[in-house]
Structure 1
Amino acid sequence: MKLRLLLALTTLALAACAPLRPSQPPAEKRYTAAELLALKPADFVWPATSTDGERALREAALADIRARLALPPGAARDAALPRLFELVAQYNAEIAAARPLLLDALPTLGQRDAETQRALLTAAHTLYAADAVPLLWPLLPQLTASKPFAIAAYTLLQADAGAADRLRDLVPQQFPQWADDARLAALMSRLRPSAAALPPLAELLAAPLRPGFAVIVSLQRVGRQQMGLALVRGADGRFVRDAAGRLFASPQLALARSGLPGTVTNGNTPQGLFTLVGAGTATNPNIGPTPYLHTKLPIEASVAEFEHVAMADTAAWSEAVYDSFLPESWRGLSPLREAWLAGLAGRDELIVHGTTLNPAYYAGASYHPGTPQQGCMISGEDWDPATGRLLASRQLTLAQVYAAASRRDDLAGYLVVVDVPGEGAVTPAEAEALVAEAGR
């Protein structure tokens, strides 16, 4: 009974990065700004973050992995593969042992459904890109759905130096209407990069978006393999500073475990503009009890939700509506267009949240102590190993700084995610220089 319960918890812990709905979810708590500001870290406890709780979940996950690895070839093993590779990636365990199963499955994907294709191709991209290359080229013509095709293409781009030229010719041949598909449009933008220099980032940081609303600005690195920083610009248009005048800049990771682009399911947080519509407590065990900030992409949110005004929910979305929030110099540019394309592609439930995952799973990674999940923006948290009580939370601090700066009880506002050039984690000194250039 105990093992079955732990396996069930592990299954829930692999659900998407969002306030998901298990079979019997607890009621989700929504917060006003005043309620959010009254919270303290000690208000939250999550037993699975204690040493004993975490060990039990990990042991259950490892037992599940090994049971799936031991299945003989056949329908049962085929059905077990998607979750097997989710577990392998989350726990960084049995990667070598699982490799042959993935490589054996890849040549058969042309006869599998699109969701199975997506799951196994994501595993190839995440864990075995170099090994998968010779198997993916003959598979590509069999991938008739744009999502699995795009994942395979991004895997080839990651591991095959000559892939871009071949893919640039192949996409229009295989998908003549590629420009009407958000995933393929994003892929072709990657294959045909613009030579034009981006406008000054200061113009984006100073842009009002919509006057009177607070904004979280998430500064990230290209590729997302390093920690970024979240800044908060208040409803008055000024970036938040402490009493000593230091800019508020909180570490934040916008990397998904898959490392796929933002237009693909379970890919990185897309660059661009989100609307922020409140705060709540998630039911995903990997997120835990600390309140998340509820952000939505275009299309996922109606135009009315994006505008934060009362208007007909039937108002039509268009790229021009999306661009209207941005300063003129940044409109129509590929980097910030990613959020628009991600919304068109159906991505949703990408929120700003904390984490209950043990950073030790990713020790040695360039983004450590970050804990990537499935596309959300994640702030680190410290949990008491004896009790599972929250000791410190960058997520709660970010949410409270935003709540105070928003001056709105409903917390309505915006999020901008933008990649900045450079190496290593984004530093407070870089953020300070950018904000100073913006005059904010």
Structure 2
Amino acid sequence: MNLRSLTTLAAALLLAACATQPPPSAEKRYSAAELLALKPADFSWPATSTDGERALRETALADIRARIALPPGPARDAALPRLFDLVAQYNAEIATARPLLLQALPTLGQRDAETQRALLTAAHTLYAADAAPLVWPLLPQLTTSKPFAIAAYTLLQADGAAADRLRLLVPQQFPNWADDARLTALMLRLRPSAAAQPPLAELLAAPLRPGFPVIVSLQRPGRQQMGLALVRDAGGRFVRDGAGQLFTSPQLALARTGLPGTITNGNTPQGLFTIVGAGTATNPNIGPTPYLHSKLPVEATVAEFEHVPAPGAADWNEALYDTYLPPGWRAWAPIKEAFLAGRAGRDELLVHGTTINPAYYAGTSHFPGTPQQGCMISNEDWDPATGGLVASRQLTLAQTYAAAGARPDLAGYLIVVEVPGEGAVTPAEALALVTAAGR
């Protein structure tokens, strides 16, 4: 079966699996009142049913195998980026696909930057140790910053000792590296500061902009463990339930690629985002549960970030970003990753749910989290018989945020910050931080 026939089959199976609820053709936006009125029973996604998921998985596996079976040539070259996306998502045929990636790497110097990005991302995600000997001689041929940075992170993943060599190479190959957000972030990784992280309690108590609710996403360095989302209300207090227990909700800020936040499809960057509303996505991996629309600096204009109707507001700069941070955090480079990510052109990093089966990631340290492309993801439980939504930590988080802000437009902020430690972030850790912040 050729790829055209397979694509037709995939579309037919997708429609069959989702016949009662195809992906929406346009996003629906929600007011706070509309969001608060929703309940899990309002949503279904038949592709999450046992039969629907099986159809999609079988189609994906057939697609993977058809791409692997293509003979060498332009058709196979064109098929590789999608092949490795599917291999990573379904954790399938990883060993079988490896030779195709290793054969392609030495040719990347003659490929366009987007193909370089896609295949180097596959190397980082799936085959770093095997790819590293082929990536070193490729580096001088990578003349744009994004593929070069991905290649460098792949080498670091394979061998941490590569940092010294890379630290010398970056300014040689890119004399103006300090003007490039991706290379700035890379050099920060290659020249880590010995300074200790400022007190987290100070950040959790920071006003940002008074009168707006805030989601605080506490994550582990490396993002290989589940984090926790907290909600601070418009008055600056963290939300608790009727029994006085701190509201916490498991959340994953890991991308499938594991790349840093300044790279396309990398992890959620640390730092400050603005929230500008809620909507229903057209992405079938996100599903129908409303997401919170978070935006990075630069992706959001200054006026949008500030939630003020001021079209003539100033352009973005680091000094403006710093005004949101408490004084003790303004020199802490890792918290500026969100600003660098916005400068690097990242966007659409949403707070959303998931229709991906956690079973694909059984045995991983982040299970039952389902990493995607760099967003902040909350698990959801879908009825295997009907595809109806049974329980949604995403809906609970979004509604808790909406109630805490009491703003019809759902305007507010999001902080993503890493918490040193091992294992999943626990409610007890979160409570200790909130208590220390006096909030």
Above 0.5 in TM-score?
yes
1:129 corresponding residue in structure 2: 128
CA RMSD of aligned residues (A): 1.7
1:164 corresponding residue in structure 2: 163
- Distance in 2 (alpha carbons) for counterparts of 1:73 and 1:4: 20
Aligned pairs for 1:299-378 within 5 A: 299-313=298-312, 315-378=314-377
Does the 8 Å contact 1:231/1:250 carry over to 2?
A: yes
- Distance in 2 (alpha carbons) for counterparts of 1:46 and 1:173: 52
Aligned residue type for 1:119:
A
- Distance in 2 (alpha carbons) for counterparts of 1:246 and 1:255: 27
Shift of 1:332: 3.5
- Distance in 1 (alpha carbons) for counterparts of 2:402 and 2:70: 50
1:393 corresponding residue in structure 2: 392
Aligned residue type for 1:7:
A
- Distance in 2 (alpha carbons) for counterparts of 1:249 and 1:5: 43
Q: Which runs of 5+ in 1 are unaligned?
A: 13-21
- Distance in 2 (alpha carbons) for counterparts of 1:241 and 1:9: 47
SS in 2 for 1:273: strand
Shift of 1:334: 1.2
- Distance in 2 (alpha carbons) for counterparts of 1:197 and 1:246: 30
Distance 1:71 1:254, change over 3 A: same
Identity of aligned residues (%): 82
Moved more, 337-346 or 191-200: 191-200
Aligned residue type for 2:245:
R
Q: Which runs of 5+ in 2 are unaligned?
A: 16-21
Query: Are 1:210 and 2:213 an aligned pair?
Result: no
Q: After superposition, give the CA deviation of every residue in 1:65-95 in whole Å (9 maximum; x if it has no partner).
A: 0000000001100000000000000000000
Aligned residue type for 1:235:
A
- Distance in 2 (alpha carbons) for counterparts of 1:152 and 1:270: 19
Which of 7, 10, 16 in structure 1 is aligned with 2:10? 7
1:271 corresponding residue in structure 2: 270
Does the 8 Å contact 2:302/2:314 carry over to 1?
A: yes
Q: Normalized against structure 2, the TM-score is what? A: 0.96
SS in 2 for 1:405: helix
Shift of 1:312: 1.9
Q: After superposition, give the CA deviation of every residue in 1:164-185 in whole Å (9 maximum; x if it has no partner).
A: 0000000000000000000000
Q: Normalized against structure 1, the TM-score is what? A: 0.96
1:16 corresponding residue in structure 2: none
Shift of 1:5: 5.3
Aligned residue type for 1:432:
L
- Distance in 2 (alpha carbons) for counterparts of 1:48 and 1:4: 18
1:199 corresponding residue in structure 2: 198
SS in 2 for 1:414: strand
Shift of 1:196: 1.2
1:96 corresponding residue in structure 2: 95
Aligned residue type for 2:399:
Q
Does the 8 Å contact 2:14/2:55 carry over to 1?
A: no
Aligned pairs for 1:135-146 within 5 A: 135-146=134-145
2:48 corresponding residue in structure 1: 49
Aligned residue type for 2:432:
A
Aligned residue type for 2:402:
A
Q: After superposition, give the CA deviation of every residue in 1:384-406 in whole Å (9 maximum; x if it has no partner).
A: 00000000000000000000001
- Distance in 2 (alpha carbons) for counterparts of 1:39 and 1:166: 54
1:280 corresponding residue in structure 2: 279
2:18 corresponding residue in structure 1: none
Shift of 1:8: 3.6
Q: After superposition, give the CA deviation of every residue in 1:198-245 in whole Å (9 maximum; x if it has no partner).
A: 210000000010000000000000000000000000001000000111
Distance 1:11 1:103, change over 3 A: farther
Does the 8 Å contact 1:228/1:254 carry over to 2?
A: yes
Shift of 1:353: 0.1
Aligned residue type for 2:112:
D
Query: Are 1:33 and 2:58 an aligned pair?
Result: no
Q: After superposition, give the CA deviation of every residue in 1:321-380 in whole Å (9 maximum; x if it has no partner).
A: 111111111113211100000000000000000000000110100000000000000000
Does the 8 Å contact 1:221/1:228 carry over to 2?
A: yes
Does the 8 Å contact 2:198/2:332 carry over to 1?
A: no
Shift of 1:25: 5.4
Moved more, 310-319 or 55-64: 310-319
1:19 corresponding residue in structure 2: none
Does the 8 Å contact 1:272/1:336 carry over to 2?
A: yes
- Distance in 2 (alpha carbons) for counterparts of 1:25 and 1:362: 27
- Distance in 2 (alpha carbons) for counterparts of 1:216 and 1:169: 39
Does the 8 Å contact 1:6/1:57 carry over to 2?
A: no
Distance 1:342 1:6, change over 3 A: farther
Aligned residue type for 2:173:
Q
Shift of 1:33: 0.5
Shift of 1:2: 11
